[in-house]
Chains A and B, each alone.
Chain A
């Protein structure tokens, strides 16, 4: 009893004396100092980590919760692996060998500070707050000897080892390429009410964590170039043939690094009037050496456009990693570092590279700086970024074409006549159409049906943002997002924070719209049913246009009627009824009608029925395309008969 009292007193002292992090751009309440050694041969990490954590909630907290993401691939019974069976992502996991799996084991966790350390190792337990899966070890809980009061800081010293997987979910190793992400015990996020937001690792969602300062020493084989979140501050060659790289970064919420003896390094600088300069560092695969300029060009476009639209990139440096073939680590974002993705044969018309660069660089804003909860509101970073990404592509790289890949994906073929439209053709609209009703977006993202979570996370919010842009104007939407960015950078906003700003900036109550696109799964489909004209008195015609609302979604739309003499009449319809009729009395008869002719409502799942003409060209179009298809079929038959 006496011993326990003494210990609690010591802890109280520790809590009181632990130094709080210096104030910066962010709250800096989760600060890490990590010393990690990579054994490339055994693909293991051995590390010590010091976490200085401040309780910024309003309630005392007696328990700490940590993410141990690598345990998602510890066995086939983790929640990630179970959910994986419902998707087609990340290849066939069943084909993985035992050595391909991963694990992270905490060997020691101690409460330290200026006083005596308290060993908490025996107080560690695994919890499964999302699904109660007792086989899931991706969340670790530790009970403290005494609660950490609001505003108080604790220091934890954690020792751990990790087995690096063959890449799963964009982290792991293949050959001599190591991309190390979600690799360390990371504390969850405590909300203002003192509730932990520390979800298990799910197959369909990503991450969420607090901002802080990262000071990381990584020891790797000597001569292996290394890139990481932050800037290199120190490099020491060790006697054992290794090199220790020390990287440091303030005001970020994650840390990733990569090393490989094959990387070639290129550097360039982003400079744009009105925006802070950014040093760009590119870690490139030798076979992509000729594409270095494209990598910088794409990144530069994102830094310029996102900087001008939403706010400047504040870190002054960014690292682009070109991953190796089949590493499955391409197209992923981490603070101040992201991975691109390209092919050996990459025609200039194939803007997949630029698209990926803009998307992942764009995540520096929507994920990195505005720290949304990717477990619960995955659409907030992916959807907003997808939308901005499409805009940026249209502005910076409008010359893209549809590129098909044959023979195992190695041989590209450019369809010159098919321009690439990120909004319409990039599987965005088609993807949304397939998954329009599978989930209500306000459902926590980790609960989405894994097979169709992508359309709800990426496509739908992107499409409704495009719709808002077309309805309210780009200036308004840009101001909404810029205000949202400014108010919520280095914080953790929720959807209502965005909606409130949208209402405020647009000076409209957009709640009914958000109710449909976010709090519901309404499907929008307007169509023109008929256009007819009858002779009226005085050599005039009475033309009648009937339009219908086929879906359950309601949106105000315009009806455009074109007369035989070329004149056009526009009518507004609030879109609420199931059908609507407009009439035109004129000396010319109506020859066509369009509902939503400017395609404001990009969520409309069937745009083909949005127009009606009395002189249809469907026969001509059908003949043309049936003829093209016929040649394909003839060629198919000839290919088969070659062997008979």
Chain B
């Protein structure tokens, strides 16, 4: 199977399971809602009966903004101009690549969301691997079944990313970057050097991500119990199909970039008020939906590529999760049973 075929198949599988997209979107919304309510409460309390709220409701009231930040707690201090429109996306990507730490207040929802995502991953991969509709019970049974396995994989994932950000990143963007730019006096040159280092670090990050993705895919498709085995199998698959895997990732990456470019063009500003606020919010949520869709296509197309390369589309070793029959049915089926 070619990468492009895997991509098309992945898109098809994601589009045929809109409930999954809707669920992860709802999850993304629900995960941040309590924290957003906290933030809203903090903002409202600070504004109180102040007429500064009128200005803030219409646009950017920079004076109030800095006053709020000056007295805010850790969560409130994340309320900066970087949240406006597409700047939010750049801020998060930049923070990731530059290894900027975030306040622990944001890490909590992050940790919770990552846990939920890990839980759902098994069910999502199972659904995409089967390429046919599944019942909610089957989906959540798969989630539960694979969650235990993925939990065993999680420390390896966490340790890997920790090592990348805590040790490798400072070496690349601290020591190495400072060394190679020590006598650079042309900003453009420095930028190109930094770009090259982003590519270097990003490639390592992506490689790790791909290996973990295929480890999960193999765990689900081949019903692997051993996560070490799944990881090794993931590495083997990536190594033996490096070209196809890389090309598929590139195609997916282009879709991701496309979503970002589109959002950059339509991202809402801060000057709106009334209904335009909600219109802007809706646009932002469509962007979030699109980001989730792209992430699911990554999953689905990787699954599809694996199945296409090693078996056939729709192959999955594990049996479907069947709901146990109620006791009354068992009684009817087996009347001699003492139960």
Contact = CB atoms under 8 A, between A and B. Distances in A.
Interface of A: 95, 174-177, 262, 285-287, 324-327, 343-344, 402, 404, 406-408, 410-411, 413, 415-419, 421, 424-425, 429-430, 433-434, 531, 592, 594, 606-614, 616-644
A326 B44 contact: no
B101 to A, nearest CB: 13
A128 to B, nearest CB: 33
30 contacts: A324-B186, A406-B91, A407-B98, A408-B194, A411-B90, A424-B62, A607-B64, A609-B48, A610-B50, A612-B50, A613-B49, A613-B53, A614-B49, A619-B44, A620-B53, A621-B43, A621-B47, A621-B54, A622-B40, A622-B53, A627-B277, A629-B78, A630-B33, A631-B281, A632-B88, A632-B92, A633-B106, A635-B288, A636-B102, A641-B117
A532 to B, nearest CB: 11
B39 A626 contact: yes
A416 B81 CA distance: 11
Contacts of A325: 184-187, 190
Contact of B47 (A430, A616, A627, A640): A616
Given A614-B49, A636-B102, A625 B31 contact: no
Nearest to A92: B178
Given A621-B43, A624-B57, A644-B157, A633 B184 contact: no
A430 B273 contact: no
Contacts of A611: 49-52
B28 interface: yes
A619 B205 CA distance: 42
B15 interface: no
A637 B110 contact: yes
B187 A415 contact: no
B284 interface: yes
Nearest to B173: A408
A631 B33 CA distance: 10
Contacts of A433: 66-67, 70
Given A417-B60, A612-B50, 7 more contacts: A287-B186, A608-B68, A618-B48, A626-B37, A632-B92, A641-B117, A644-B114
Given A175-B183, A416-B269, A626-B40, A612 B91 contact: no
Contacts of B141: none
Contacts of B106: 633, 636
Given A417-B271, A625-B79, A430 B188 contact: no
Contacts of B109: 633, 637
B87 interface: yes
Contacts of A416: 269, 271
Given A416-B269, A618-B49, A620-B53, A638 B188 contact: no
B246 interface: no
Contacts of B87: 404, 413, 415
B209 A643 contact: yes
Contact of B185 (A327, A343, A624, A636): A327
B188 A344 contact: yes
B44 to A, nearest CB: 4
A402 B59 CA distance: 13
Nearest to B47: A618
B79 A629 contact: yes
B31 A637 contact: yes
A344 B192 CA distance: 12
A326 B89 CA distance: 27
A617 B43 CA distance: 11
Nearest to B190: A325
Nearest to A562: B51
Interface of B: 28-29, 31-33, 35-37, 39-41, 43-44, 46-54, 56-57, 59-60, 62-64, 66-70, 78-79, 81-94, 96-98, 102, 106, 109-110, 113-114, 117-118, 121, 157, 161, 178, 181, 183-188, 190-191, 194, 198, 205, 208-209, 212, 268-271, 273, 277, 281, 284-285, 287-288, 291-292, 295
Contact of A612 (B29, B49, B59, B60): B49
Contact of A631 (B51, B83, B186, B273): B83
B40 to A, nearest CB: 3
**Which has the most chain B C-beta neighbours within 10 Å: A402, A421, A618?**
A618
B32 A630 contact: yes
B33 to A, nearest CB: 7
Contact of B32 (A262, A607, A633): A633
B187 A616 contact: no
A606 B28 CA distance: 36
A641 B113 contact: yes
A202 to B, nearest CB: 27
Nearest to A625: B43
A608 B56 CA distance: 11
B50 A418 contact: no
A397 to B, nearest CB: 17
B198 to A, nearest CB: 7
Contact of B90 (A404, A434, A619, A623): A404
Contact of B209 (A326, A619, A642): A642
A634 B94 CA distance: 16
Contacts of A430: 66, 69-70
A628 B273 CA distance: 12
A634 B194 contact: no
B110 A640 contact: yes
A407 B91 contact: no
A585 B40 CA distance: 37
A352 B36 CA distance: 33
B94 to A, nearest CB: 4
A239 B53 CA distance: 72
For the complex of A and B, list the 10 residue pairs with the smallest distance between their C-beta atoms, beginning with the closest.
A626-B40, A618-B47, A324-B185, A406-B94, A611-B51, A622-B44, A622-B43, A632-B88, A621-B56, A325-B187
**Which has the most chain A C-beta neighbours within 10 Å: B49, B94, B157, B205?**
B49
B188 A287 contact: yes
B57 A417 contact: no
B184 to A, nearest CB: 7
Contact of B70 (A326, A410, A434, A633): A434
A29 to B, nearest CB: 39
Contact of B64 (A176, A594, A608): A608
Contacts of A177: 185
A628 B92 CA distance: 14
Contact of B51 (A408, A613, A623): A613
A626 B43 contact: yes
Contacts of B271: 416-417
B91 A638 contact: no
A630 B278 CA distance: 13
Contacts of A639: 92-93, 96
Given A631-B284, A633-B109, A640-B110, A415 B270 contact: yes
Contacts of B194: 407-408, 410
B288 A634 contact: yes
B269 to A, nearest CB: 4
Contacts of A592: 51
Contact of A624 (B29, B49, B273, B287): B273
Contact of B270 (A343, A628, A630): A628
Nearest to A529: B49
Contacts of A629: 36, 39, 78-79, 83
Given A413-B86, A417-B269, A626-B39, A644 B117 contact: yes
A433 B70 CA distance: 8
B43 A637 contact: no
Nearest to B271: A417
**Which has the most chain A C-beta neighbours within 10 Å: B64, B157, B198?**
B64
B187 A410 contact: yes
B84 A344 contact: no
B66 A429 contact: yes
Contacts of B52: 607-608, 611
Contacts of A531: 49
Nearest to A620: B57
B56 A625 contact: yes
B39 A415 contact: no
